[in-house]
Structure 1
Amino acid sequence: MSVDDRLKELGIELPDAPAPAANYVPTVRTGNLLYVSGQVPIQNGALVTGQLGAGFSVEDGQAAARLCAISLIAQVKKAVGDLETVRVVKLNGFVNATGDFGEHPAVVNGASDLMVEIFGEKGRHARSAVGSSSLPFGVAVEVEGIFEIA
């Protein structure tokens, strides 16, 4: 099954790739690697804000991380066009969390699981899941990625 078919099967329509919020570019390609700047969760045109451990559940965080992954894929598609040529190399997930919150990996699984659902074996990747006391605009999660382009 093609990547586009998997997206359709999952009911995912890629949004327009979000514009940068500051002085950076959304993607940089060097050789066969594409670096994608951190993507934040956007749902129905609004940022998903909240802090894990302070009224924002792990499930809410996973859903936010999934939205970040969808934006990552939109950036990749804009940069390279054909998603069939893509392999996910590494994701870095940042979780807006209280000091006593410890389930960062479970939250970032929202992004990781989607990459595997969409890209299959080419979606399996290395990863970091890091807690932060705050993130830009108060978002719950931010995810950046490195992709290999065949």
Structure 2
Amino acid sequence: MTNPMLDRLKELGLALPDAPAPAPAANYVPFVQSGDLVFVSGQISQGPDGLIKGRLGDGMSVAEGAAAAQACGLALIAQVQAACGGDLTRVRRVVKLTGFVNSTPDFTEQPQVINGTSDLMVAVFGDAGRHARAAVSAAALPRGVAVEVEAIFQIA
């Protein structure tokens, strides 16, 4: 069976993190389903070479931050794929993203950083990827990562 979402990722030159989806680092679960909503725990910026660390406004560019946010988005998609038993066609809508940006007090471009996740959701899920969102600054994030993003998905 073909999966248009995975095909779109491949067209973008992207892939989901290796299965299984990233495991929690503490006493929580990666996602919780309530009715037709899946609440995905915050996913930290991590790529094939490890954690993507840094602080926006202190040596890390907005483009690098957006790439870190895109990595969070890939992990979010991997988690919702696990919640859907491997079938991303069950995703009906990306409902909400909340993005946290490790940044200096004077950094004000959090929305441009979290666009790395938002743009990915629209590229993968089309109109169903358009969502409500918050993009906020954090003085520090777990393990020194640059970005963390959590999400709510509606599934069939």
Question: What TM-score, normalized by structure 1, do the two folds share?
Answer: 0.97
Aligned to 1:19: 23
Q: Give 1:124-135 correspondences, 5 Å limit.
A: 124-135=130-141
- Distance in 2 (alpha carbons) for counterparts of 1:22 and 1:128: 24
Aligned to 1:3: 5
Deviation at 1:129, TM superposition (A): 0.2
Deviation at 1:4, TM superposition (A): 2.0
Segments of 4+ moved more than 4 angstroms: none
Deviations 1:95-138 (A, max 9, x none): 00000000000000000000000000000000000101100001
- Distance in 1 (alpha carbons) for counterparts of 2:113 and 2:98: 12
Aligned to 1:77: 81
Aligned to 1:145: 151
- Distance in 2 (alpha carbons) for counterparts of 1:44 and 1:125: 27
Counterpart residue type for residue 108 of structure 2: G
Question: What TM-score, normalized by structure 2, do the two folds share?
Answer: 0.93
- Distance in 2 (alpha carbons) for counterparts of 1:125 and 1:3: 17
Percent of aligned pairs with the same amino acid:
61
- Distance in 1 (alpha carbons) for counterparts of 2:116 and 2:74: 11
Aligned to 1:34: 38
1:100 to 93, 100, 106: 106
Q: Which runs of 5+ in 2 are unaligned?
A: none
- Distance in 2 (alpha carbons) for counterparts of 1:4 and 1:97: 32
Equivalent pairs, count? 150
Secondary structure in structure 2 of the residue aligned to 1:12: coil
